[in-house]
A and B are shown apart, each in its own frame.
Chain A
Amino acid sequence: MRGGTVRFVLRRLAQLVPVVLAIAALNFVLAKLAPGDAADILAGQMGHATLEFTEQLRREFGLDLPILEQFLAYMGRTARLDLGISLIQQQPVVELIADRLPATLLLMVTALVLAIATGVALGVAAARRQGTWVDNLISVSALLVYATPAFWLGLMLIVFFSIRLDLLPSGGMMQIGVAQTAIGKVLDVARHLILPAATLGLFYAAVYARLMRASMLEVYGLDFITTARAKGLSEGTIAWTHALRNALLPVVTLAGMQVGHLLGGSVLIETVFGWPGLGRLVFDALVQRDLNLLLGILFVSSVVVVLVNLAVDLVYGLLDPRITHK
Chain B
Amino acid sequence: MTPRNLSRALAVAAIAVGVAVPAAAQKKGGTLTYTFHPEPTAMSTISTTAVPVSLVASKIYESLLEYEGPGLKPLPGLAESWTVSKDNLVYTFKLRKGVTWHDGKPFTSADVKFSIEKVVTPFHSRGKTYFGEVSAIDTPDPLTVVFRLKSPVPYFLRAFQSSESPIMPMHGFTADEIKEGKFRSAKIMQAPVGTGPFKLKEWKKGSHVILERHPGYWKPGKPYLDQVVLRVIPDGAARAIAIEKGEVDLGPMSALPPAEAQRLGKLPSITASQEGSEGLGPIMWLEVNNRSKPLADVAVRQAISLAIDRKRLVDVIWYGQGKPASGPIVSGNPNHFDKKLKPLEYNVDKANKLLDAAGYKRGKDGVRFKLTQNFLPYGEEWVRQAEFIKQELRKVGIQVETQSLDMGGWLKRIYTDWNYDFTSNFTHNYPDPTIGVQRAFISTNIKRGATFSNSMDYANEKLDALFVKAAQTADGPARNKTWEEIQAILRNDLPVIFLMEISYTHVWNKRVHGLITNGVSMYSNWDSVWVD
Contact = CB atoms under 8 A, between A and B. Distances in A.
Interface stretch (B7-15, B448-456, B477-485): B448-456
B451 A43 contact: yes
B244 A163 contact: yes
A40 B190 contact: no
Interface stretch (A170-178, A227-235, A310-318): A170-178
Q: Which of B190, B204, B245, B411 has the most CB of A within 10 A?
A: B411
B453 A272 contact: no
B245 A162 contact: yes
Contact of B204 (A44, A169, A270, A276): A276
B205 interface: yes
Interface residues of A, number: 56
Contact of A36 (B408, B452, B453): B408
Contacts of B206: 99-100, 103, 276-277, 280-281
Nearest to B406: A287
Nearest to A104: B206
Given A40-B415, A163-B245, A170-B247, A46 B237 contact: no
B284 interface: no
A162 B408 CA distance: 37
Contacts of A46: 48-50, 125
Nearest to B47: A90
A53 B449 CA distance: 11
Interface stretch (B62-70, B104-112, B228-236, B504-512): B228-236
Contacts of B416: 36, 40
B197 to A, nearest CB: 17
Contacts of B47: 90
Given A34-B408, A48-B126, A49-B451, A272 B439 contact: no
Nearest to A88: B41
Given A96-B205, A287-B408, A172 B449 contact: no
Nearest to B122: A56
B238 A272 contact: yes
B205 A289 contact: no
Contacts of B427: 47-48
A97 to B, nearest CB: 10
Nearest to B128: A50
Contacts of B408: 34-37, 40-41, 287-289
A91 interface: yes
A273 B125 contact: no
B413 interface: yes
Contacts of A277: 206
Interface string B233-261: 11101100110110100000000000000
Contacts of B50: 45-46
Interface residues of B, number: 60
B343 interface: no
Interface stretch (B215-223, B308-316, B428-436, B467-475): B428-436
Contacts of B231: 172, 176, 274
B413 A171 contact: no
Nearest to B203: A99
A172 B453 contact: no
A41 B407 contact: yes
Contacts of B247: 169-170
A234 B277 CA distance: 74
A158 interface: yes
Please indicate which of the listed interface residues B229, B412, B450, B452 has the most CB atoms of chain A within 10 Å of its own CB: B450
Nearest to A158: B241
A85 B185 CA distance: 9
Nearest to B409: A35
Contact of B190 (A49, A91, A162, A176): A91
Interface in A257-288: 270-274, 276-277, 280-281, 284, 287-288
Interface in B28-82: 31, 33, 38, 41-42, 47-50
A255 B410 CA distance: 38
B207 A276 contact: yes
Given A41-B408, A274-B234, A274-B235, A100 B241 contact: no
Contacts of B38: 284
Nearest to A99: B205
B96 interface: no
Report, nearest first, the 4 A-B pairs whose CB atoms are least far apart. Answer: A36-B408, A276-B206, A46-B125, A51-B450
13 contacts: A34-B409, A35-B412, A46-B50, A48-B126, A48-B129, A49-B126, A90-B184, A103-B207, A151-B235, A163-B241, A177-B31, A177-B227, A272-B238
